[in-house]
Chains A and B, each alone.
Chain A
Amino acid sequence: MAEALDYTDRPWLDPEAEPFIKVQSVSKHFGDFTAVDSVDLDIYKGELFCLLGGSGCGKSTLLRMLAGFETPSSGTILIDGQNMNDVPPYERPVNMMFQSYALFPHMTVWNNVAYGLRRDKVPKSEIQQRVDEMISMVELDQFAKRKPHQLSGGQKQRVALARALVKQPKVLLLDEPLGALDKRLREQTQYELMNIQEQLGVTFIVVTHDQEEAMTLSTRIAVMDTGRFQQIGTPTEIYEFPNSRVVANFIGNANMFEGRIIENGPDHVIVESNDPKCEFFVDHGMSIQEGTKVWVALRPEKVRISKESPANSSANTIRGMVHDIGYLGGTSTYRVQVDGDHMIEITSPNMMRPRDASPPIDWDEEVYLSWDASSSVVLTK
């Protein structure tokens, strides 16, 4: 008997699921500048969706259009089936957590959190209860009477989150939510955010330029560049199966080789790169003509480094010399010079504890680099 597919964690795969947010060919122009260029996007209920991209890629503009601070130049935005184009920010079922937090400086933490409920004319006793609950959820009970300027960065961030969540929005928009926190606090808060999201089941849309943040947080990521989506997919899809050089370079590190298809079999392709001289045997077929110019992306952690020549070495091997070693404790990063002055980056876990302090592979040593036929990604754009 065929097992019924379970889409609860992956609603975007369910052909019958109705998207909660629909962005339909939305553009935004500022004068001559096109910030968002005719994008389409479906986001499902309960997702933690990341808009990832460098500065000026249009991610913040898209978020601001969802919040209602900017109106699309063309296209429509639907939230829960309702057209949002003419709905002002104060009537939308979304709340936003600002990058600067935008806490009201003249109000206490408690009043900041209560602000939204007061605007909705919620009964006093209910405000009291909901604000208290929310403040204890973000563990700020002792700080309820403080003013924002008396709080640390992490505490301010939690107030901003509580203030946006207390109204129980259908969608929470987060603009660089962890940007202003230091590394340690960021990692901790990241998991807190995920827990809260899971607990409340609110749809989160996060804007970030930090790929690590996007990878850990999200169910799906949209990589944005020059106002368009380059790729939309799960963190694994985007990292392991990037669809373009832009995506491969933006998410994680990649060694990029320019080459040509020299053999196209039904179950494999061979790419020849001239600069550096190297052959790639890739273990899947492609609907592509021989002779086509392609790029091969190779992730640093998918390359093996060894002093001895690997067995059956013809394709997927290259010789070089260690130029640099970055010892990071758990892993080491090697920069290996191959065929002239090309540098290939390799990350390798330090699984063995060396007998003495000298590294197993040293500077200026001859090494062989090799990788599996399934490791390299062939890109056509």
Chain B
Amino acid sequence: MSTPAEEVVAIGEATLKDRILNRLTRLLQDQWKLLVLGIPYAWLLLFFLAPFFFVLKISLAETTIASPPYTPLVEWVDEGIMHVRVVIDNYAYLWEDDLYVNTYLNSLVISVTSTILCLLLGYPIAYAIVRSSHTVKHILLLLIILPFWTSFLLRVYAWMGLLADQGTINDLLIALGIIDEPIRMLYTTFAVYVGIVYTYVPFMILPLYANMEKLDWELLEAAADLGAKPMTTFFTITLPATSPGILAGSLLVFIPATGEYVIPDLLGGGNVLMIGRVLYNEFNANIDWPVASAVAIALLLLLVLPMMLYQHIQAKETENP
């Protein structure tokens, strides 16, 4: 038997050993945490933030005939004297020239309308997928994802073939005797809408589907039980409960649609002005990198600011509802 004094010493040793071990494991855990968090941060810094600052830098320069075709931001004039040139003319130019303002507005109108069309089309599709049986559900989801297995560019070209004056649709309508002359569809705003909605509707359906999968169908029964007719249940329960999916899907459609270049270029021709095309032209046709960069930064602000505002409101709401 050990005396009480011996026991105390034994306990003391055990706790000391435990403490050192604990300290060590915690240190290791901290290192892991750093590593795990560090990798995505490094990725974001390297591939998103750094390019962004390059573009920002170029947007504050002037165009010159050189390589690269813009003036440097920082120059060493003499030994030890630094010369910083910041030009905001590019931004002023965007604001003053109607072309840019109109193009921005037109892009917004097209992307907002497309987003609404995608929502109107995607919501019932997502709902139908969620409510279908297990096997059918997987087939339908596969069909939604299937187009991604062929090149996006190829699919847009296919639409050109469908919509052209001598294209499949017009040929068919003429052959059936419904029309005498081809309807002009290609190189119109209509074609751009067709292209954007076609391309982006899966991005609306998938987040909606993910959100609806989690929807508690008993809520709909509860609403019916409390006297709500199916329409009322939809607007008071289903729609609010799926609003996170609606928002996620809408952002996934709206953001890329605003900056879309390929679809307005191929299906809209020169007739539909969208900011992606203007940006491309500034870079490649005009070789005006600073203005092109300013266009890009302005587009970013246009998209990011409302999103940040929304997130701010959202965060506040969850804090104190």
A89 at the binding interface (Cβ < 8 Å): yes
Partner of B221, one of A98, A116, A163: A98
List residues of chain A with CB within 8 A of the CB of B224: 68-69, 88-90
- Residue pair B227, A102 in contact (C-beta under 8 Å): no
Q: Are A102 and B321 in contact (CB under 8 A)?
A: no
Q: What residues on B are CB-neighbors of A105 within 8 Å?
A: 219, 241
Task: Decide: A102 and B228 in contact? CB cutoff 8 A.
Answer: no
B227 in complex: contacting residue of A67, A98, A116, A150, CB < 8 Å: A116
Chain A residues positioned under 8 Å from B219 (CB to CB): 102, 104-105
Interface residue B222 (Cβ < 8 Å from any Cβ of A) = yes
Mask: chain A, 58-94; 1 = CB below 8 Å from B; 0 = not = 0000000001110000000000000000001111001
Q: Are A119 and B227 neighbours in the complex by a CB distance under 8 Å? A: yes
Q: Do B226 and A116 touch (CB < 8 A)? A: yes
- CB-based A-B contact count at 8 angstroms: 62
In the bound complex, do residue A100 and residue B225 qualify as a contact, i.e. CB atoms below 8 Å apart?
no
Residue B216 interfacial (CB < 8 Å)? yes
Chain A: minimal CB distance from B86 (Å): 48
Is B79 positioned at the interface, with any CB of A under 8 Å from its CB?
Answer: no
B230 CB to closest chain A CB (Å) equals: 8
B270 proximal to A (CB < 8 A): no
Specify which chain A residues have a CB less than 8 angstroms from the CB of B240 in the assembled complex.
Answer: 106
Beta-carbon nearest neighbor of B240 in chain A:
A106
Interface string of A282-308 (1 = CB under 8 A from B): 000000000000000000000000000
B237 contacts across to A, CB distance below 8 A? 104
Cross-interface CB contact of A102 among B216, B229, B232, B236, cutoff 8 Å: B216
Assembly CA distance A116 to B226 (angstroms):
5
- Complex contact B222–A98 (CB within 8 A): yes
- Bitwise, B206-227 to A at CB < 8 A (1) or not (0) is 0000000000101101111111
| A115 B223 Cβ-Cβ under 8 A | yes
Complexed CA–CA distance, A96 and B219 (Å): 12
The answer to whether A147 touches B321 (Cβ under 8 A) is yes
> Which residues of the other chain, B, contact A116 by a CB distance below 8 angstroms?
226-227
Residue A120 interfacial (CB < 8 Å): yes
Query: Hey, what's the 0/1 contact readout for A134-169 against B, CB within 8 Å counting as 1?
Result: 000000000000010010000000000001100100
- Once the chains bind, are B232 and A119 in contact (CB under 8 Å)? yes
Within 8 A of A (CB), among B115-141: none
With A106-B240, A147-B321: A163-B218 Cβ-Cβ less than 8 Å: no
Q: How far is the CA of A102 from the CA of B220 in the complex (A)?
A: 9
- Whether A100 contacts B226 by the Cβ 8 Å rule is no
A119-B227, A163-B226 known; A89 vs B221 contact (CB < 8 Å): yes
Nearest residue, chain A, Cβ from B321: A147
Please report the C-alpha to C-alpha distance between residue A98 and residue B221 in the assembled complex, in whole angstroms: 9
Q: How far does the alpha carbon of A96 sit from the alpha carbon of B225 in the complex, in Å?
A: 7
What's the minimum C-beta distance from B318 to chain A, rounded to whole angstroms? 10
Q: Which residue of A lies closest to B221 (CB)?
A: A69
- The answer to whether B241 touches A102 (Cβ under 8 A) is no
Bound: A96/B224 CA distance, A: 10
Identity of the chain B residue whose Cβ is nearest the Cβ of A146 in the assembled complex: B321
**Closest residue to A116 on the B side, CB-wise?**
B226
Nearest Cβ in chain A — how far from B248, in angstroms? 16
**Minimum CB distance partner of B226 in chain A:** A116
Q: Are B226 and A115 within 8 A (Cβ)?
A: yes
Q: Which residue of A lies closest to B224 (CB)?
A: A89
CB distance from B303 to the nearest CB of A (A): 27
Q: How far is the CB of B208 from chain A (nearest CB, A)?
A: 17
CA distance A163 to B227 in the complex (A): 12
Chain B residues lying within 8 Å of A103, measured Cβ to Cβ, are: 222
Q: Which of A68, A102, A150 contacts B222 (CB 8 A)?
A: A102
Q: Is there a chain B Cβ closer than 8 Å to A376's Cβ? A: no
Confirm or deny: A95 has a beta carbon within 8 angstroms of a beta carbon on chain B: yes
Instruction: Give the residues from 280 to 321 in chain B that come closer than 8 angstroms, CB to CB, to chain A.
Output: 321
Contact of B225 among A95, A104, A106, A150 (CB under 8 A): A95
**B225 adjacent to A67 (CB under 8 Å):** yes
Q: Which residues of A contact B229 (CB under 8 A)?
A: 90
> B241–A106 contact, CB under 8 A?
yes
Given A69-B225, A89-B224, A102-B222, 14 further pairs, Cβ under 8 A: A67-B221, A68-B224, A69-B221, A90-B224, A90-B226, A95-B225, A95-B226, A98-B218, A102-B219, A103-B222, A106-B241, A120-B227, A150-B321, A163-B226
**A→B interface (CB under 8 Å):** 67-69, 88-91, 94-96, 98, 100, 102-106, 115-116, 119-120, 147, 150, 163-164, 167
Closest 3 CB pairs of A and B: A116-B226, A119-B227, A102-B222
